[in-house]
Structure 1
């Protein structure tokens, strides 16, 4: 397998990942791919040749090896790395689909109006694609851990196995090559896989909580805008009612109590004096 090409393909996913996704990608390359390429392949090597049995019966060692190692650790981990990283390509393909749609729309309508403000931004369908890829990666990790646990009995590699499969003549003792070293690498790869599962779960929780906060903020802004609009509609009617009430009070004549007040009496007396001064003096004309 050409791991350099594999790394080049996955490097495009890093541009569209969150902080948890970037940490996950670093863990996959540093603690899994690098360990697999540099050390694990050499430790396992030709493991069937290192599987020795205390018999020279033809075919006995091959049958016992196939019984205790139906799937090689190194090949199972290679399949796990390939299947785990495949869902990340869903995000890259979705972004490429958005880029193609944006390019066709620009060629048809020009740069006046864009379909997407940012084709790599996780909104709408891309958010769902990213979330589905996280669930798929988590499910694949759990499935491969279960397979490894089911086949090799709690990831444990013994030094000695006893085989009684045909064509072995009797109960045969078989010895595994480098059992302690293989056990250490098995636990290391299982721990790295568990760390990737934790990172995937954290990223799922982060994406969902961020989406919920965004929806809550949007609903809060909508409610505030509706309240402001209702206040804007209420204020003109309230002001008109107040002005109408003031105008009606001005037009109404004063009541008996207000007319008997000193201010009204003085104004009445002043009016009578003005009328007397303006009227002709009839007594003097006689």
Structure 2
């Protein structure tokens, strides 16, 4: 797999992200992608060959391994990384759409194509929601597939074609358990960052909307005061002239 391609995509998003979004990107690169490439692949290397049962019945080990590990944990982790990173591509595509629209009309349509406002703000918020949902979904999937966030030393299997209850041993269970805890912790941190950034964007939008509305109301009140003052000034000379004639 080309992790450089994923890095290039996320680097493009970094230009349009908030400060919290840049922290999320750093966490993904340092604590997830680098750890996966440098260490995790080696820990789960040839895990099926290192899965041993105390019986040599043909097909028994394969069936038991498939039962307890329906999806390789390290491959599921790689899929999780891809899925939680893909929504960020929506922001890059939206900015590219703005730039292409300006070229097509041959005029300046936006103050800055990367400014977080209007449709781009909505796209960014939607990408945050998708990333958070994917994180929650994969944590739930991990929990359901493996019966919790744990890697046992010994599993007991009685699947066919095993003739009886068989003891099977998982290789490097402690090391794999530590990595699994690390995956859960980084996923939780990413969820926290996504939710924090989402609340920050909503708060900033509401504040901006309130200030704009407040400024508009002040401007309208000022116009009404000027109109009232002008009317009063017009009425006074007319009243004075009428009194003089009388």
Q: What is the Cα deviation at residue 250 of structure 1?
A: 4.8
Q: Count residues in correspondence.
A: 246
- Name 2:213's counterpart in structure 1: 219
Q: What is the Cα deviation at residue 249 of structure 1?
A: 4.5
Match of 1:122 among 112, 116, 119: 116
Q: What is the Cα deviation at residue 2 of structure 1?
A: 1.2
Match of 1:235 among 201, 211, 229: 229
Q: Spell out the pairing of 1:59-74 with structure 2 (5 A cutoff).
A: 59-74=59-74
Indicate whether 1:151 and 2:132 are aligned.
no
Indicate whether 1:13 and 2:24 are aligned.
no
Structure-2 separation of matches of 1:187 and 1:75: 16
TM-score normalised by the chain length of structure 1: 0.83
TM-score normalised by the chain length of structure 2: 0.97
- Give 3-state SS (helix, strand or coil) of 2:155's partner: strand
| Gap runs ≥5 in structure 1 | 107-112, 253-286
- Give 3-state SS (helix, strand or coil) of 1:16's partner: coil
- Give 3-state SS (helix, strand or coil) of 2:15's partner: helix
Q: What is the Cα deviation at residue 5 of structure 1?
A: 2.1
Cα-to-partner distance string for 1:90-118 (whole Å, 9 max, x where unaligned): 11011101100111222xxxxxx521110
- Give 3-state SS (helix, strand or coil) of 1:12's partner: helix
- Name 1:191's counterpart in structure 2: 185
Structure-1 separation of matches of 2:228 and 2:92: 52
| Gap runs ≥5 in structure 2 | none
- Name 1:101's counterpart in structure 2: 101
Q: Spell out the pairing of 1:257-268 with structure 2 (5 A cutoff).
A: none
Structure-2 separation of matches of 1:143 and 1:153: 15
Q: What is the Cα deviation at residue 236 of structure 1?
A: 1.8
Cα-to-partner distance string for 1:130-159 (whole Å, 9 max, x where unaligned): 111110111111111100000111211110
Q: What is the Cα deviation at residue 251 of structure 1?
A: 5.0
Structure-2 separation of matches of 1:48 and 1:236: 89
